Amino acid sequence: MTARFQLSRRALLAGTAGALAMPAIRPAFAQGAPIKVGVLHSLSGTMAISETALRDTVLMMVENINAKGGLLGRKVEAVVVDPASNWPLFAEKARELLQVHKVDVTFGCWTSVSRKSVLPVFEELNGLLFYPVQYEGEEQSKNVFYTGAAPNQQAIPAVEYLMSEDGGGAKRIALLGTDYVYPRTTNRILRAFLNSKGIADADIMEEYTPFGHSDWQGIVSRVKRFAGEGKKTAIVSTINGDANVPFYRELGNQGIKAEDIPSVAFSVGEEELAGIDTKPLVGHLAAWNYFMSVPGAPNDEFKKMWHAYIKNDKRVTNDPMEATYTGFAMWAQAVTQAKTTAVDAVRTAMYGQKVMAPSGYEEQMWENHHLSKPVMIGEIQGDGQFNIVYKTPTAIKAENWSPFIPENASRRRG
């Protein structure tokens, strides 16, 4: 899929949650400039494997809302740019969206380094960014709404599961990550959490590799040796982007099975697994807040909407797509409530917004700019889907300032 995309006028058979079929005729829009939605996702480079589907999710939502008459009676128009997995370029493209295209809102970024790159731009120009991916926390900006998971909504519950009897009772943990802020900060939190549970530093292995890393033979061999020293071992993966493909391939090559050394991933979902043979990976885990295999009407409607838009019933959905969908729906509700797209008014209207998400849980936006979200852990299946083996009974409020970071002791969490 290319960075250029011409918005089509084809009819969609499904809408947002609770919507019926699209009208047979094109709606008439009120006079005035269109509402512009910026799309800031990598469509080339190492992160394109993950981010392209998020571009398409925003375009799907734009087309759907226009089919129902737009927002405030005005047409919604997507403005797509490609920062090409180049972190400084993210900031340039963010400035272009805000100053040149004058977008009303932006949906974008995947890696924390890209989010950190654009944050000063959105704060300087008072733009509004919806960030749809799990991250390390330790941040809160009035110009960002975080619709992915904070560590207490993904990383910590996943490690708790690995240490439980159901998860295999791990006593040693190998922390493998891509070398940037999200894995390093997440693993700092996890190391402190593990220490608090009686896991000594000697029983924690920690290694980082660059984006796009492809030679995993040595690292996987070291994990096998680490696991062979007498204690049940598990892998916690914060590997991002296309490096996951050779990593999982090497696990298979070296015969690492889930019953021996289970691996839980925080950045691997259905979209990433679509590109590899998953049979050797059956039983390995991923922790998210949504899986395509979630049963129920909200997810059925989401998948139907996606397949009608993308015109391919085999295309998967995943967690960051669901977070994009939920964030877009909340933003549209807030604009409708505020009767304007002005950032300050929309920001205030966002607080308390609720959406019945495809996860099957009602999610709420809090004044800390984070969503309440459920926690789910899934086992990889041979068909690239996940069998959900654990989920929380309710949505969990995000704790974006981790109690396992000592500097946060004086922060007010709420």
* Residue 201: both structure tokens together: 């530093």
How confident is the model over 332-380, as pLDDT tens digits?
999 999 999 999 999 999 999 999 999 999 999 999 999 999 999 999 9
The pairing of beta strand 233-238 with beta strand 285-288: unpaired
First to last CA, the chain: 41
How confident is the model over 160-207, as pLDDT tens digits?
999 999 999 999 999 999 999 999 999 999 999 999 999 999 999 999
The pairing of beta strand 233-238 with beta strand 362-364: unpaired
Q: Is the pLDDT of residue 250 over 70?
A: yes
Q: Is the pLDDT of residue 17 over 70?
A: no
Q: pLDDT at position 30, please?
A: 64
The region of weakest confidence among 52-56, 145-149, 254-258, 327-331 is: 254-258
Q: Which amino acid, one-letter code, is at 137?
A: G
Return the closest-CA partner of residue 171 out of 192, 205, 199: 199
Instruction: State the average pLDDT over residues 34-47.
Output: 97
Show the domains of the chain with their CATH numbers: 35-149+295-364 (3.40.50.2300), 152-293+376-410 (3.40.50.2300)
Return the closest-CA partner of residue 170 out of 130, 97, 88, 226: 226
* Helix (H) and strand (E) counts in the chain: 11, 14
110 contacts 47 by C-beta, under 8 angstroms = yes
Angle at which helix 343-350 crosses helix 319-338, to 10 degrees, equals 110
300: Cβ contacts below 8 Å, ≥ 6 apart? none
Q: State phi, psi for 205 to the nearest 5 degrees.
A: -100, 140
The count of other CB atoms within 10 Å of the CB of residue 31 is 6
311: Cβ contacts below 8 Å, ≥ 6 apart? none
How confident is the model over 202-216, as pLDDT tens digits?
999 999 999 999 999
* Statement: the pTM of the whole predicted model exceeds 0.85: yes
Q: Is the pLDDT of residue 103 over 70?
A: yes
Core vs surface per residue 319-333: b (16+ CB within 10 A) or e: bbbbbbbbbbbbbbb
93: Cβ contacts below 8 Å, ≥ 6 apart? 40, 81, 82, 83
